[in-house]
Amino acid sequence: MGIVERMRLDGKKGFVTGGARGIGKCTATAFAEAGADVAIVDMDIEEAKKTAAEIAAATGRKVIAIQADVTKEAEVQAMVDQVVAELGGLDFCHANAGIAINAPAEEMTLAQWQKIIDINLTGVFLTDTIAGRYMLKNGGGSIINTASMSAHIVNVPQPQCGYNASKAGVIQLTKSLAVEWAQKGVRVNSISPGYIGTELILSAPQLKPLISKWNELSPIGRLGKPEELMSICVYLAGDTSTFTSGSDFIVDGTFTCF
């Protein structure tokens, strides 16, 4: 069997949080294209259903939509239970849901800070541990967390201390879980994207000046594409990465190299 065949995900089952659009939609598409059945998990259930139908039609895989708030333990548990019941198991997941709030630290409210931490860090903790419990009891699996290059650098010109701190926490959480579960069959890794030109970012008028500045600062001179994160996630979800755990993969077009 060649490397292409060994990297396929045939027979595997998984889910992507924040999967209705952007990075999550791209990775869910990649998982299905590689042969997996996938659940699209999102707060926006109508968009999730639309994405699920689109991916299912394009790939022929079973793709379902589930509404869940990743900050609510009961909802994450119900979501994992539904994935297992409807797809027939759980072999991998991509904890991708997240938000950014740009506000100067001296003006940021506690409510803003808490919202970022609740979604970006606590939401990943709940997703990982609840999915992890199932995997630990059922032969193992792979967990992929979306961190950010913002865990490694301080972005400019936008002020985003809460976002940066939350994503740094995701990387350390990833490493901690990977070590705890190293001999129990569950791998945990993270990806740290740079500036990615999702539909949402490209269509937001207020971000145009920032995009120009980001491109000016970037050695590669452009935003990344969501599709440029697909292959690393398929690798991490599959069986060719069984010696890879506790790693953070920076995919930023050299932005953090200087």
Task: Delimit the domains of the chain by residue range.
Answer: 3-248
Q: What is the CATH number of domain 3-248?
A: 3.40.50.720
**Rounded Cα gap, residues 165 and 127, in angstroms:** 19
**Single-letter residue type at 230:** M
Per-residue pLDDT, averaged over 242-253, amounts to 98
Residue 184 bears catalytic tag: no
User: Looking at 25, 134, 148, 235, which residue is catalytic?
Assistant: 148
Residue 201's pLDDT is what? Answer: 86
Mean pLDDT computed over every residue of the chain: 96
258 has pLDDT over 90: no
Residue 212's pLDDT is what? Answer: 92
User: Looking at 134, 163, 195, 235, which residue is catalytic?
Assistant: 163
User: Looking at 167, 190, 195, 245, which residue is catalytic?
Assistant: 167
For 111-133, the pLDDT digits (tens) are 999 999 999 999 999 999 999 99
Contact at 8 Å (CB) between 248 and 147? yes
Per-residue pLDDT, averaged over 80-103, amounts to 97
For 179-222, the pLDDT digits (tens) are 999 999 999 999 999 999 998 888 888 888 899 999 999 999 99
Residue 163 bears catalytic tag: yes
Residue 3's pLDDT is what? Answer: 86
Contact at 8 Å (CB) between 127 and 77? no
DSSP conformation letters of 141-169: EEEEEE--GGGTS--SSS--HHHHHHHHH
Residue 167 bears catalytic tag: yes
**Rounded Cα gap, residues 17 and 230, in angstroms:** 15
